A = this chain, B = another copy of it.
Amino acid sequence: MKIIQEAAELQKLALSYKRTGKTIALVPTMGYLHAGHASLIDIARQRADVVIVSIFVNPTQFGPNEDLDKYPRDFEHDRELCAAHGADIIYAPTPGGMYAADASVEIVENHLSKVLCGKTRPIHFKGVCTVVAKLFNLTLPDVAVFGEKDAQQLLIIRRMVRDLNFPVEIVAAPLVRQEDGLALSSRNRYLSCDEKARALVLSRALFAARKAIEANGIEAVDGVIEAMKVEITNAGGRIDYVEARDTANLDAPTAATKEILLALAVYFGTTRLIDNQIIGLN
């Protein structure tokens, strides 16, 4: 397994793979890898000749009062996990290697990014789109694997690929949970023991909501969301949002909606957790 820090070196290598007909899969991450990331690497491994994992805590997707500085890092652990899951290359650039001091070009998504996480994190998806486009251009993947945990991000990346015609197939990997239901996240390490126990309300509320919506259809959504909010608040969560959206456009669901994204962002202490369910309607 190769570890590469320089953008030019990575791109040259990717081009050489491309020109000799090798297929490439990219798994973009911010490091501090867990079993969720491992599942992405496993999928990538099945889909291409060369698997590249990028590890980069991207400063441009963090707002001024967010957790950029304290975001957890453990490169040695990440290296071992990547090797164990058969990655061929880790790309681990420095911020200075990714962004010129006078960088002035950004990718903006103007619809899907206005709601849910985009409302409280207004610059977040601009940073995500821009860094993912850069990673696509540096690694030239045939396939890129993203987790359904970041459901809105996944939809926005698919939209970017469509609207900018990136020659990349986006593969969605299912969210991975602990046995007790908590969605895996690098940010779980911020939680105290007590907060972790309280945070189990999120998956519990989502699973119950899924059941109710599957049984009673779109009509049930408003009541279900109100009930979730009460349950989460009672468990000590501070709600950023709990919302149902049409996965086609992230607008409010209508009678025509075929699939709902039921998504939430909730604080326990100072830690903001996200979780979701994607629910097909018939």
A contact residues, total (Cβ < 8 Å): 37
CB of A160 within 8 Å of the partner chain: yes
- Those of A91-127 within 8 Å (CB) of chain B: 99-100, 102-112
As a 0/1 sequence over residues 239 to 264 of chain A, the CB contacts with chain B under 8 angstroms (1 = contact) are: 00000000001000000000000000
User: Is A33 interfacial (CB-CB < 8 Å)?
Assistant: no
Copies in the complex: 2
Segment of A162-170, A193-201, A228-236 engaged in the interface with chain B: A162-170
Cβ of A77 to closest chain B Cβ, rounded Å: 28
Whole-angstrom CA separation of A166 from B11 in the bound complex: 9
A152-203 contacts to B, CB under 8 A, are 159-160, 162-167
Q: Is A64 an interface residue (CB 8 A)?
A: no
Q: Please name the residue on chain B nearest to A12 by beta carbon.
A: B167
- Complex contact A105–B159 (CB within 8 A): yes
Structural contact, A107 and B106, CB atoms closer than 8 A: yes
Can you report 24 A-B residue pairs in the complex whose CB atoms are below 8 A from each other? A11-B165, A18-B18, A19-B19, A19-B20, A102-B111, A102-B249, A104-B110, A104-B111, A104-B159, A104-B163, A105-B109, A105-B110, A105-B129, A105-B164, A106-B110, A107-B107, A107-B108, A107-B164, A130-B164, A133-B164, A134-B163, A137-B164, A138-B167, A140-B167
Contacts A19-B19, A107-B108 aside, 19 further interface pairs with beta carbons under 8 A come to A14-B167, A15-B167, A18-B19, A19-B20, A99-B163, A104-B109, A104-B163, A105-B160, A105-B162, A105-B164, A106-B107, A106-B110, A107-B107, A107-B164, A130-B164, A134-B163, A134-B165, A137-B164, A138-B167
The residues of A with any CB-CB pair to B shorter than 8 Å are 7, 11, 14-15, 18-21, 99-100, 102-112, 129-130, 133-134, 137-138, 140, 159-160, 162-167, 249
